[in-house]
Chain A
């Protein structure tokens, strides 16, 4: 459909002489200015024409004009013998405008009443691509491929070329753009042959955060440099490397830079040549490596796994404490710990600490007591001894019993047994006996 606003030009219509199909009045001068949208021309067809015939349509006529250029002047009828009738062939305007002028004199023969004319017009797309090359020497409409569209046209380029900003000229393609794959290959236009002049190509390598881009230039590297007193300088041709937060670096000369670690996941290469000189260009393979996090420190009484010489982005490490120790982070005990190497080359959590566990106060023993034998009070592997208040109470089967603070934070008699000591009363053993020595 045509993009015509409601109030815009009509894309088709009808034009009739005054009073048509009644005879037209004398002394008329009426003009119609027809307009259709830009990119279209007007196809005008007379469906009926009955105007007083005269030589050169001298008395009555309908004139078709395009920008004051006469396209036709008509009179007569279909059967009249003059050449002034338009017939049924359409009249095409060169542009999107057309003017009709209907003119009559003051006399009409009485024997016949002429009714004037009726014409239909419609907008027709202009095939700009078929138009002859302008004579002003500006060259063809499109330098390579012209595509006619409804109301307009588009220029396109063959493979390896790209459309210039003037939208009509095709230039050798830079092959630039954004490269977001983990590996890739870039080269300058025409490489290894001399590059076109006046190039301005940009190549952006942008990979996921957490990766570092490595550029590996091939040995064949040639960008024109200018020898100055200070040495070779990239005055007119250069390849500029830019990474965020770093000063850009310009490369030129005949020696390959080899492998460059950019230390960034975003690298921009701008290749520039002016309209003179000679550069054969460059070629490179880029690759990416995960960023490296610092080797985690040592956790006293704990273990960091896995133990590697280097840790990279997305690597996880875990910390476990030795038996009898617990994980502590920010003053709180945690059940487990893991941290990941982040895209900014930092661990997302600092290492925790391992603190010795505490079994708490040993349970008191009714009619008995408990005392520490060894180790820091209540801590892992410290031992306590339970005893009963003898001679009135005794532990079942034993005098004293020793408990150890085990890794499960329980006081245990042995590793496998949880046992609560009980003081049993001693029966029938008074502290004083009835003694009798007399016999």
Chain B
């Protein structure tokens, strides 16, 4: 998280830290056996990571306190239309992880609500992005062991597309923005999600209840002026999520 703050205990109880082959990723608890994350977190070079290689941590804001209390998933379900062969296609960047045993919820672990079918992603709608990913300290990139968060607004889809198009002129190998994605951030930069936050939640609070609007997916650098973070638009996957959970 760039430009964010350390999250106090029990404020983001759905936050999950994934550790896969020494790489960090994020996730969010959505049911007592299910974790929602980004597909690219559990797929490496086109290959789905084996369940035994995935370690799942939750229930705390400090990695040191969680490092011995991880669980392995029972199964991993990547969206069938996710197809990133070269690291440039983040369309359908969504996956579900099923746990071996159900979780008993408490103040430290609680599920995040899924979006209502009629939920809207209005420009300016502020979401809470969190993760154990890269942070910065006076312009230097840092690895943090504390859960951090930042509040970011939803960006107009066209503004975001223009931003990406501009960058594409310089770097043609830039992923495309699709309708399954939305952007969040500020034009001035300085606040963003970053590497290691992928798969984590972009949650929106309405009247004290938070719901999962997005999944940290990708972006051009981190916290750069005129660039935004890109998030998987969860509302587009409600049927798929329901189907996977019912079938498994």
Residue from A425, A426, A428, A434 in contact with B11 in the complex, judged by beta carbons closer than 8 Å: A434
**Residues B31 and A428 in contact, CB atoms below 8 Å apart:** no
**Residues B208 and A392 in contact, CB atoms below 8 Å apart:** no
Please indicate the chain B residues that have their CB under 8 angstroms from the CB of A392 in the complex: 105-107, 110
The distance in angstroms between the C-alpha atoms of A432 and B112, with both chains bound, is: 14
Asked whether any CB of chain A lies closer than 8 Å to the CB of B10, the reply is: yes
Please indicate the chain A residues that have their CB under 8 angstroms from the CB of B30 in the complex: 427
Asked whether any CB of chain B lies closer than 8 Å to the CB of A431, the reply is: yes
Asked whether any CB of chain A lies closer than 8 Å to the CB of B162, the reply is: no
Asked whether any CB of chain A lies closer than 8 Å to the CB of B97, the reply is: no
The distance in angstroms between the C-alpha atoms of A433 and B110, with both chains bound, is: 13
Asked whether any CB of chain A lies closer than 8 Å to the CB of B9, the reply is: yes
The distance in angstroms between the C-alpha atoms of A432 and B30, with both chains bound, is: 18
Residues of B contacting A: mostly: loop
Asked whether any CB of chain B lies closer than 8 Å to the CB of A69, the reply is: no
- Bin the interface of chain B by size: 20 to 34
Q: Which residue of A lies closest to B209 (CB)?
A: A428
Asked whether any CB of chain A lies closer than 8 Å to the CB of B245, the reply is: no
Residue from B11, B114, B203 in contact with A433 in the complex, judged by beta carbons closer than 8 Å: B11
**Residues B211 and A432 in contact, CB atoms below 8 Å apart:** no
**Residues B111 and A434 in contact, CB atoms below 8 Å apart:** no
Asked whether any CB of chain B lies closer than 8 Å to the CB of A393, the reply is: yes
**How many Å from the CB of B131 to the closest CB on chain A?**
15
Please indicate the chain A residues that have their CB under 8 angstroms from the CB of B114 in the complex: 427
**Residues B10 and A428 in contact, CB atoms below 8 Å apart:** no
The distance in angstroms between the C-alpha atoms of A431 and B10, with both chains bound, is: 6
**Residues B11 and A432 in contact, CB atoms below 8 Å apart:** yes
**How many Å from the CB of A364 to the closest CB on chain B?**
14
Please indicate the chain A residues that have their CB under 8 angstroms from the CB of B113 in the complex: 427-428
Interface size on A, residues (CB 8 A): 13
Asked whether any CB of chain A lies closer than 8 Å to the CB of B124, the reply is: no
**Residues B7 and A393 in contact, CB atoms below 8 Å apart:** no
Asked whether any CB of chain B lies closer than 8 Å to the CB of A429, the reply is: yes
Asked whether any CB of chain A lies closer than 8 Å to the CB of B128, the reply is: yes
Interface flags for A387-405 (1: CB within 8 Å of B; 0: not) read 0000011000000000000
Interface residues of A in 400-434 (CB under 8 A from B): 425-434
Please indicate the chain A residues that have their CB under 8 angstroms from the CB of B110 in the complex: 392, 425-430
The distance in angstroms between the C-alpha atoms of A130 and B5, with both chains bound, is: 149
Asked whether any CB of chain B lies closer than 8 Å to the CB of A206, the reply is: no
Asked whether any CB of chain B lies closer than 8 Å to the CB of A382, the reply is: no
**Residues A428 and B7 in contact, CB atoms below 8 Å apart:** no
What residues make up the interface of B, taking CB atoms closer than 8 Å to A?
A: 5, 7-14, 30-32, 104-107, 110-114, 128, 149, 203, 205, 208-211
Closest 9 CB pairs of A and B: A428-B210, A428-B113, A427-B113, A392-B105, A432-B10, A427-B111, A431-B107, A428-B209, A432-B11
Can you name 19 A-B residue pairings with CB atoms under 8 Å? A392-B106, A392-B110, A425-B31, A425-B105, A425-B111, A427-B14, A427-B110, A427-B209, A428-B111, A428-B112, A428-B209, A428-B210, A429-B209, A430-B10, A430-B13, A430-B107, A431-B10, A434-B128, A434-B149
